[in-house]
Amino acid sequence: MSIRATLLGAHAGLVEPLVVDPEGLPGGDDRAGQERHQVLILELARAHSAAARRLEVVVDGWRFELEVEPEARAALRDKARRDRGAAGHSGPAEVRAIIPGVIVSVAVTPGETVGAGQQLLVVEAMKMQNELRAPRAGTIGRVAVGTGSTIEVGDLLVVVE
């Protein structure tokens, strides 16, 4: 069973119950005689415009919590995951910011040889320090940030060749 419901606009609260009628959906004639479903959508939190929206969706009494994020942010997340799988391959590996923050320290310089897992730099985000490590052994080709730099999600930090 699939149910389609659309949240229109930027609702900040309870949305009127939707009755999803299979006959009103594309290909509805093929769904004639199927049951109707009641769908409630409640926006739980909206932290920042770039952050994911948290929604509570209740379908016929079954409750689900969803996070809906902007397409650009999802694309960055996919790119970060792809790069991890390619870390063992040859060619330059770009280390990019996966969270916004401030560079606390940079432990490498261009031309320096690094081993897999070696610390490259430290990022402070939300009052926590996060060490970023080399995805594989290689030589540092470029360091794109310095101590005190403010970074955003997706910014290039270091290139390991």
pLDDT digits (tens, 9 = 90+) for 95-149: 999 889 999 999 999 999 999 889 999 999 888 999 999 988 999 999 999 999 9
CA distance 41 to 7: 8
Residue 159: pLDDT band with limits 50, 70, 90: very high
Class of domain 91-160: mainly beta
User: Which own/partner pairs from 9-14 qualify as long-range (CB within 8 Å, at least 24 positions apart)?
Assistant: 11/41, 11/43, 12/43, 12/46, 13/42, 13/43, 14/40, 14/41, 14/42
Please choose, from the candidates 130, 68, 67, 139, the residue with its C-alpha nearest in 3D space to the C-alpha of residue 98: 130
Please choose, from the candidates 66, 67, 122, the residue with its C-alpha nearest in 3D space to the C-alpha of residue 97: 122
The pair of three-digit structure tokens given for residue 158, joined into one six-digit string: 């270091």
pLDDT of res. 33: 57
pLDDT tens, residue by residue, 10-69: 443 444 445 555 555 555 555 555 667 778 888 776 555 556 778 888 887 888 888 787
* For the chain, domain boundaries: 18-68, 91-160
**What's 35-90 look like in SS3?**
CCEEEEEEEEEECCCCCCEEEEEEECCEEEEEEECCHHHHHHHHHHHHHHHCCCCC
CB-hemisphere CA count at 13 Å for 117? Answer: 0
Give the predicted TM-score (pTM) of the model. 0.47
